[in-house]
Amino acid sequence: MNMKAKRPVGSFLCVLCVLCGEAFVSGGCLVVSLQPLYDDQSIAFEEALIGSWENAEDGTRATIERGEWRSYKVTYTDRSSSWSFQGNLTKIGAATFLDLTEMRGTDPGPYLVPVHGIVRVSLTDKTLTGALLDYDRFMRAIVQKSLGKLTAAIDDRRNVAITAPTTELRRWLTQPPADAFAAAATFTRK
C-alpha cells in the first residue's frame, strides 16, 4: 500500500495525519492499540505542546489546546475538513509518546470500539516531529509470527490492532526494534 499518497479520511485517522504528515485513502493501513499506552501514573503534560503547528510539506495544521485534567484537545485541519481528538502524553524511557483517540464524551454505540493511535513525538521550541508505528513492519511481523509478547490482529479495514495490555505494550516500547516506527513528519510552530 502506498503510504505517501495524500488522501482524506474520517476522524481518528486525521490526528495521526497531523503528527505524521500523511493522509490515507481508506480506513486501513494504520497500527492502533485497543488499550491505551498510558496509565494513571504515567500520564505526563508538556505545556510546550500547546499552540498552532503547520506541516509546510502538505499544508496540514494542528491546534493543540489544554484538555481536561492532563490531556490535550487536538484539532486537525486539512484543505477541506477539521476534526477534534483527545490526546494523552506519556514517557517511556527517554522517548515521549502521544496517545490519540476520539474525543471523550461521545458515545458511538455499543458496536464501535475506541482505539488508540501511538505517535512517538519530539519537541523543540519551534518544531514538533511525530512518527507512527510502521504498518508494513507490523504486517510482516504478524505473518512471520515475530511480534514476541505483543499480540495483534488485523481488522476488516486492514488496520493492525495491537491487543496486548498496556503494561506489555509499554514494556515493548522500552526497546522497540529499530524499524518499529515509520519516517517522522515535522511541524513548525505558528
Q: Give domain status of residue 108, yes or no.
A: yes
Q: Which helix (H) or strand (E) holds 153?
A: strand 152-154
Grid coordinates representing 75 are 484539532
Buried (b) or exposed (e) across 112-137, using 16+ Cβ within 10 A?
eeebbbbbbbebeeeebbbbbbbbeb
Q: What is the pLDDT of residues 11-35, one digit of tens each?
A: 333 334 434 433 333 346 899 999 9
> From the CB of residue 2, how many other CB atoms can be counted at a distance below 10 Å?
9
Q: Is the pTM of this model over 0.85?
A: no
Is 19 a member of any domain? yes
Cα pseudo-dihedral 37, 108, 70, 95, rounded to 10: 20
C-alpha cell at 60: 496540514
Answer whether residue 6 is part of any domain.
no
State which amino acid sits at residue 63: T
Q: What does the pLDDT profile of the chain (190 residues) look like in tens digits?
A: 333 333 333 333 333 443 443 333 334 689 999 999 999 899 999 999 999 999 999 888 989 999 988 999 998 888 899 878 899 999 999 999 999 998 766 677 788 888 999 999 999 989 999 999 999 999 999 999 999 889 999 988 899 999 999 999 999 999 999 999 999 989 999 9
Is 4 part of any domain? no
Owning domain of residue 78: 11-189
Q: Is residue 106 part of a domain?
A: yes
Q: Residue 3 domain-assigned?
A: no
**Structural domain total, the chain:** 1
Q: Flag whether 5 is in a domain.
A: no
- Structural domain includes residue 80: yes
- Among 81, 87, 42, which residue's Cα sits nearest to residue 64? 87
Model confidence over 129-154: pLDDT tens digits? 999 999 999 999 999 999 988 999 99
Question: Cell 509518546 belongs to which residue?
Answer: 97
